[in-house]
Structure 1
Amino acid sequence: MLKQPLTDELTSHFRQVNDFRSRIYQLQNAWDSLALMAQLSGTGSEMEHTRSAFNTISNDVLQHLSQETLRKTAAQLSSKAFEIINLLVRNLFERTADIGFFATDDDVRDYLAQYMQGGLTDEQHDALCSRFEEYQKKYTVYENIVLFDSQGQLLHQLDPSQTMLDHFHPIVALAQQSSEPYIERFYETEINGRTYKSLVYAHEVRSQDGRKPLGVLCLCFKFVNELDTIFHNLIADNDWTVGVLLDEQCNVIASSDAYQIPLGAKLCTAPDQDWFICRFAGREYLCVTKHSQGYQGYLGPGWLGQAMIPLQYAFHHTMHDMVARIDGETLRKVMRSPMIFSDTLLNIPKQAASIQSKLNQSVWNGNIWQSNYVDTQQKNFSKTLLCEISNTGHKTQQIIEQMVSELYQTVVSVMLENSSFCAQMAVDILDRNLYERANDVRWWALTHSFRELLGQSQVSKDDQRKMSETLRYINGLYTVYDNLMLFDRQGAVMAVSNHKYEHLVGTQLQDDWVGRTRSCLSTQDYVVSPFEKTPLYGDQCTYIYSAPIRHLELNSIVGGIAIVFDSKPQFQAMLQDVVPRDGDDAPVAGSFTVFVNDQFSVISSTHPEITIGENFELIPAIGKLKEGEQLFDIAVYHNTYYAVGAHASYGYREYKGAQDSYRNKVVALIFTPLGKVDEINQRISAEAQVIHNKFNPNLFLQYGKDTQEYATFYVADTWMGIETQYVREAIDEVQLRTLPEPAPFIAGMHAYQDEVIPIIDLARMLGHAHYSTDYRQIIVIEDKSSALRFGVFVSALGEIPYLTPGQIQPMTALFRGVSHNPGIAIANIAQHSMLTLVTAQSMWNKALTVRTLRQEEQVLA
């Protein structure tokens, strides 16, 4: 929902809209000239209502198109601003758990305790260096690990070239004084003339009993590297959008284009508005600001994500490239959907056609008047003028239809883009989350106590209890796991973190991944099970991550650790976070999301009827997607059209990267409803029944001395004509009174001028069961030689051609049940349909003949 009014300054940048507006203005000038000439020449055609109606509709469509053009760009900016902050916050949530756990690491505690006792050996120092290096190899999101003693003296850091944290840094006192599970601080410093930034997580290290402070541990997050990764994935090289991250004071702390928006700049923000315009460095930008929605209760450091694009480039996008890939017939149907378009918008083409139809009636009547009452010389000029009036109406109608089509396509493309973007966000979240799982299992495999206890020749019950306590402590910090397990060299379960799986202790694991774990060559290797049902997760489907545990001294494999990902709620939470949302940030009703693997097996779904493990092959093309590739389309599922965005996972950092042997393609599918198939088909079918006036004065203007003018019309799809001398005019049905005992072909009586005339139902006479029009038209027929005056219902008005006698072939038995009817003929017109010609007398005779026969039958009865 747009919460700011459109201004002339803003709409001046809408290139496509302004092209349409220019064309409309040109036609309005043409209307002015035609109206003046028509008034001077007395053509008998009234245009003022037509001009006014076309102008009203044109302005209405331009307004809607302007709003949707703005909404499209604002939606793109909103998605990018949202992902900038939310991907970062999700990442930082994991860091808050890391620091708390690493601060309880036995190797770190032992190092500090030994330091406090008066000395450290080179061997102990090297061991801590190796410990830090192993941690960073797993958790590559950290650029440095720093350890202070309890007095604030810097003891060791992984990267000695960094000077962000030095002796007696204030973060040490903050960590020592805090009762929170972590300290989170963002620091900037200048190194060699360049600004250096780091997001630091700190926690006090205490003795195992928690009584004695030993020091402070700090993890330095790769802030700049992480934001560069986010910006790279969000913003293409040819995209003018600038992504920025703002601190609590709205200062830029990260920018995708520091030349446009430099670091340290203070920007305007408006997180409560859908969009706003700000001026910076002499350039105006369209902007969207987003707060973090938080993750697992963690809201982040209070920063903001903002996406902004220079106004002069904001609306240069075109949706044709996107919708060009969609099946044309499917797109045509979706663009008639009452689910995504209001009746007001859906009815605009019909309104434009009705206005043109009324104009055609006026021009048709003008031609009839010219034929019957004006001399030949003036008639030719007037008919040419009437032709131009009708053509101008057709041009106006076509422009309106083009604008409406552009409007419809803009709306549909927004939904396709949104689905596609949400799919990318889904796999981004998925890979980032599972990256952490691969890190966790490898790091926990290095836990000193696990290596020591499993390295013994015999593991006692007390040892198993100690390992279970440690597992429960870890699981308490990392709640994304249903269970953590330790197993020995033979695969026997030694300890579990979840009490409901204690029956597994002592049992032998026979799964393939257990054997593969024993074959890992280094501390960087890990194993992942297929996504399948397992008794280790209550006979539900999940991934199990495993890594070998090595002997403290001999480095031989003495067992392994398996972490059971709590896949059902975790994947559900990921998918719920990427469900498409409307302008009020509420989930779009009827939308749903799905994760499938490369065998089309469902990993997770927010749709209640799509179950985990079932095959979901609705979009076969996703099977051809390579890592990082995407597609979008319109598909039908359960009698509903959906905008579908699909994106294949592509990994994160080294996870699934070139050096990682693990591969597991997951595709995210985002479904946004576009409309019910039955409702759309019914609407299209009903619209197809409507017939508008088809009069085109460009045709058949060849006048000759042997030619005769005919006024033509349509009854359903039958093309008929009558000499213009027998036609008074075409009028709209205002009020028809039926007769008590009507003849089969007499529809009723209708007021015309100062009399009442009978109306013949030609559709019934020709055997058409039914026909529909926006409004019912009556052609008033008059044959002065026989004093006949009546009206006939017609579906639409046709051309007024000149015909020669050689083109006309008399027919004596056109109407069924009548053996002789000399007033019927067929005109053979090249490149056009056969034209059935009738006379006033023949139509009237047909109506009376059937009525007389019916009356005779009643008398005989």
Structure 2
Amino acid sequence: MEVFLSKNQSLIKRFIRGIDKYDQTLHSLSSWWGKISLIGKINSLEVASTILEDMDHTLDQFHHLQKRLIESLTNEQARKVVTQDLARCQMAIDVLIRNLFERTADIGFLSADYDVVQFLKNNHIKEEDKDFLRLRLQAYVDIYSVYQDVLLIAPDGDLVFQLSQPARNENVQDAFIQQALAKPDQYVEYFGCTSLLEGTQPNLLYANAVVDEGKVVGVIVLCFRFDNELEEITNRLLFEQEENHFLLLNGAGDVLFAPQYYKQAFPENLTISLSPKMVSLNNKKMVQVTAKGQAYQGYSGPTDWNVGSLLALETIGQETIDEHSFASFTHLTGIISADLFDIRHQSISINDDLELIVLNGIITAARKEAVEFMPVLEAIKKIGRDIDNVFADSIKSLFSTIVSGQLNSMRLQASLAVDIMDRNLYERANDCRWWGLSSQLQLALSSTKIDTASIRETLAKIHSLYTVYHTLYVYDQNGHYVAFSDESYQDKVGLPIEESSCGQAVFKLQDIYAYSVSAFTTFDCYGGEHTYIYNAAIRDSQDSRQTIGGIGVVFDSKHEFRAILQDILPRENGKVKAGAKALFTTDTGFVVSSSSDDHPVGSVFWVDIDRTELQQNGSTASIIKLADKAYLVGAAKSEGYREYKRQDGYENSIVSWVLVPC
């Protein structure tokens, strides 16, 4: 960062209008000082020359300090914008990696789906078989709305089913399909063009071999809504009235995604750099930053993917120095450059010295009856005060800008935290609904004698792929536990499900895509700790109108929520800022999770924030006192993700908090 700022300081300075104003004002005052000082020298030779020399020395000190001031104003303004942009790039790639991690679990589970296996092992596929599978996989895409298509390929490369084009029938020999066939125990993640899909645009696909009794019977492919998801992720990172300037790059710097407004002339390749750099695009100077994602549960995403940003220099210039005032900046030493405090202190000190020089000059002039020197002294004294005021105003304005930028970052950080939470729980709502439609579970639970062994085996398979759950269970039409995914709670089989699990609600659900969720409370099947349990109905295999039981998925909230909060904590040079903490609470302050042991789950946390702004804008930020310590605090409320909490009828008010000591 420092090398970038030093190398491009003069260029950046030209685009920041507020800094030019202060620089020009200081130059004008210095010039006027020099002229008045010259008049004094010409007309007051009898006055001690040391006084004028002292004044010249003071002016030299102001000149030196002026240079430092303008450099600091430029650097701090640019550093604020670039650092903020880099943080947003990091947020974007990390959110994407978390999303794609879920896709790797989905393809593994769907490849073992009973109906998919039966379809691919069938040597004589009929139209009614295709119709049944179309309904089945359409339900999957309706539930997991991150996918746009599903395809099934036979071992010889014949395309035997495509959800978007059921009548299509041809042979495909894409390399990633061959890779899936060669390694049936591994998923394949492929990004690029393919004969499987129309158009020349690259797609992100997930493939897995489908195996029946040790024999590969085909390959299933899921097509991810790539551009749609990238637009959603990056658009949420934008400030008010800001155009989207985020790009997805591979390790070679090839642009894999550019926002819609870039489509006319976006760069095809950028050189990846760990540090900010200046580039030219469409005859404009742009600041480029890139961020590489952090691994999530051992998954790092597609090889060497980065999110980059191209920020026009005039955009930095538009962020003119903010005139918003704060009562005091003396307690904000943790977020404001020590150099700026030093410049201000030196400015005051130099002006105090000037006041003494002028006073000494007045006394000397009075002794020598040099009345013509008095106006010179008074004029220089006034200029000195004017210069000091420029220093004070510019530094105070920059302090305000820095703090405002920090508050924007806190607001964004809090929004990111609750967005990741919503995205995570969106997947949980999807999982339970899809598993509730499992033919294996339906058949096992519909049997005259419930096939508990089959249910337990299915649940164990699911649990091995989806590590975010503490346990999974199935219950019968009487609301009694039938089987668990592991051995931890086998002693509960035959007992009624916990009343607060919201499991009984599934028997009242009419829509096959509906689900129910418990309140965030303690459960015996979560070791007596707080969590959410997501439920979906399991319906009769012959009559979907009849509910014969349900599936409950116990989310591992203790570890998953804390991991989210730890991951989004603000960092400096790769390390979490000292004293920073983050929380999830309800809208009444009940702590759902915290990165700090100071705020245990079940305690109450709420600080004095603008509730109206939080409700109207979805987020807010301010400076607060907590335990006699000043904090920057950002708060954001849950707004849902895709249809989750937006169109599915589920309401759950959550507020995320991020706090950093000033």
Bucket of the pairwise TM-score, normalised by the shorter protein: over 0.9
Amino acid at match of 1:633: S
Q: Contact 2:162 / 2:168 at 8 angstroms: preserved in 1?
A: no
Q: For residue 243 of structure 1, what is the aligned residue in structure 2?
A: 246
Q: Among 142, 145, 166, which residue is 1:140 paired with? A: 145
Shift of 1:626: 3.1
Which residue of structure 1 aligns with residue 353 of structure 2? 358
Deviation of 1:258 after TM superposition, in Å, equals 4.4
Which residue among 366, 390, 407 is the counterpart of 2:398?
407
Q: Distance in 2 between matches of 1:442 and 1:77?
A: 38
Tell me, yes or no, if structure 1 residue 667 matches structure 2 residue 655: yes
With structure 1 as the length reference, what TM-score do the two structures score? 0.72
User: CA-to-partner distance for each residue in 1:673-732, whole Å, 9 max, x for gaps?
Assistant: 10xxxxxxxxxxxxxxxxxxxxxxxxxxxxxxxxxxxxxxxxxxxxxxxxxxxxxxxxxx
Measured after TM superposition, the shift of residue 316 of structure 1 is 1.5
Higher percent of residues as helix: 2
Distance between the aligned counterparts of 1:31 and 1:628, measured in 2? 50
In structure 1, the partner of 2:67 is: 59
Given the alignment of the two structures, is residue 282 of structure 1 paired with residue 283 of structure 2, yes or no?
A: yes
| Cα distance change of structure 1 residues 438 and 283 upon mapping to structure 2, 3 Å threshold | same
**Alignment correspondent of 2:424:** 433
Paired residue type of 2:403 = V
How do 1:419-818 residues align onto structure 2 when only pairs under 5 Å count?
419-459=410-450, 463-512=451-500, 513-555=502-544, 556-582=546-572, 584-619=573-608, 621-622=610-611, 625-626=614-615, 629-657=618-646, 659-674=647-662
CA contact (8 A) 1:252 1:262 kept: no
Q: Show the counterpart of 1:2.
A: 2
- One-letter amino acid of the counterpart of residue 431, structure 1: D
14, 22, 25: which one aligns with 1:23: 25
* Residues 1:158 and 2:163 aligned together: yes
What is the correspondence of 1:10-409 to structure 2 with a 5 Å cutoff?
Answer: 10-42=12-44, 44=48, 45-46=51-52, 47-115=55-123, 119-160=124-165, 167-178=172-183, 181-188=186-193, 195-207=200-212, 209=213, 211-236=214-239, 238-240=241-243, 242-259=245-262, 262=265, 265-270=268-273, 272-273=274-275, 275-302=276-303, 303-318=305-320, 320=322, 323=324, 328-329=326-327, 332=328, 334-341=329-336, 344-374=339-369, 379=371, 381-409=372-400
Conserved 8 A contact 1:268-1:278: no
In structure 2, relative to structure 1, the CA distance for the partners of 1:485 and 1:133 (3 Å cut) is same
Structure 2: distance between partners of 1:354 and 1:667: 47
Q: Write the distance in 2 (CA, Å) between the matches of 1:342 and 1:635.
A: 20
d(CA) in 1 for partners of 2:186, 2:195? 30
Q: In structure 2, what is the Cα distance between the partners aligned to 1:550 and 1:540?
A: 30
Shift of 1:159: 0.4
CA distance in 1, matches of 2:629, 2:547: 55
**What is the DSSP-based 3-state SS (H/G/I as helix, E as strand, rest coil) of the residue aligned with 2:32?**
helix
1:247–1:304 contact (8 Å) kept in structure 2: yes
Partners of 1:642 and 1:672 within 8 A in 2: yes
> Could you give the per-residue CA deviations for residues 206-257 of structure 1, whole angstroms, max 9, x where no partner exists?
10x2x21101100000011111212322235722451111123322121124
Given residue 119 of structure 2, which amino acid in structure 1 is its aligned partner?
A: Y
For the Cα contact (< 8 Å) 1:335–1:408, is it kept in 2? Answer: no
Q: What is the alpha-carbon distance in structure 2 between the residues aligned to residue 80 and residue 425 of structure 1?
A: 10
Name the larger-Rg structure.
1
1:264 CA displacement: 6.7
**C-alpha distance in structure 2 between counterparts of 1:491 and 1:281, whole Å:** 65
User: Residue 406 of structure 1: CA displacement?
Assistant: 2.6
- In the TM superposition, residue 510 of structure 1 has moved relative to its aligned partner by 4.2
Change (3 A) 1:54 1:549: same
Q: How far 1:566 moved relative to its partner? A: 0.1
CA contact (8 A) 1:79 1:421 kept: no
2:248–2:307: 8 Å Cα contact kept in structure 1? yes
Question: What amino acid maps onto 2:340 in structure 1?
Answer: L
Q: Equivalent residue of 1:613, what SS?
A: coil
Q: Helix, strand or coil for the counterpart of 1:249?
A: coil
Q: 1:428 to 1:114 in 2, by over 3 A?
A: same
- RMSD, aligned α-carbons: 2.4
Q: In 1, Cα distance between the equivalents of 2:612 and 2:138?
A: 39
SS in 2 for 1:518: helix
Q: Which runs of 5+ in 2 are unaligned?
A: none
**How far apart, CA to CA, are the structure 1 residues paired with 2:401 and 2:613?**
28
Judged with a 3 Å threshold, the aligned counterparts in structure 2 of structure 1 residues 489 and 620 are, in CA distance, closer, same or farther, namely farther
| Compared CA separation, residues 352 and 261, structure 1 to 2 (3 A) | farther
The count of residues paired between Structure 1 and Structure 2 equals 651
Q: Distance in 2 between matches of 1:606 and 1:40?
A: 70
For residues 164 and 589 of structure 1, the distance between their equivalents in structure 2, rounded to whole angstroms, comes to: 60
Change over 3 Å in CA distance of 1:519–1:386 after alignment to 2: same
1:135 CA drift (Å)? 0.6
CA distance in 2, matches of 1:190, 1:441: 33
Deviation readout 1:391-445 (Å, 9 max, x if unpaired): 0000110111112213322332332222112111111111111110000000011
Aligned to 1:679: none
Instruction: Evaluate the alpha carbon distance shift between residue 82 and residue 510 of structure 1 in structure 2; reply closer, same or farther with a 3 A threshold.
Output: closer
Could you tell me the TM-score, scaled by structure 2's length? 0.93
Asked if the contact 1:644/1:671 (under 8 Å) is kept, the reply is: yes
Distance 2:261 2:199 in 1: 13
Helix, strand or coil at the partner of 1:524: coil
Deviation at 1:132, TM superposition (A): 0.6
Q: Structure 1 residues 63, 248: CA separation in 2 closer, same or farther (over 3 Å shift)?
A: same
Change (3 A) 1:17 1:88: same
Q: SS where residue 176 of structure 2 aligns?
A: helix
Tell which deviates more after alignment, 335-344 or 219-228.
335-344
**How far off its partner does 1:180 sit?**
5.5
Inter-partner Cα distance in structure 2 for 1:191 and 1:299 = 26
Alignment partners' CA distance in 2, 1:315 and 1:162: 56
Q: Which amino acid aligns with 2:415?
A: Q
Structure 2: how far apart are the matches of 1:121 and 1:192? 24
CA distances 1:107-145 after superposition (whole Å, capped 9, x unpaired): 111111123xxx123332211111111111111110000
CA distance in 1, matches of 2:240, 2:322: 20
8 Å CA contact 1:649, 1:665 repeated in 2: yes
Distance 1:345 1:165 in 2: 69
Structure 1 residue 385, shift from structure 2 partner = 1.6
Change (3 A) 1:260 1:39: farther
After superposition, the Cα gap between the structure-2 partners of 1:53 and 1:190, relative to the gap in structure 1 and judged at 3 Å, is: farther
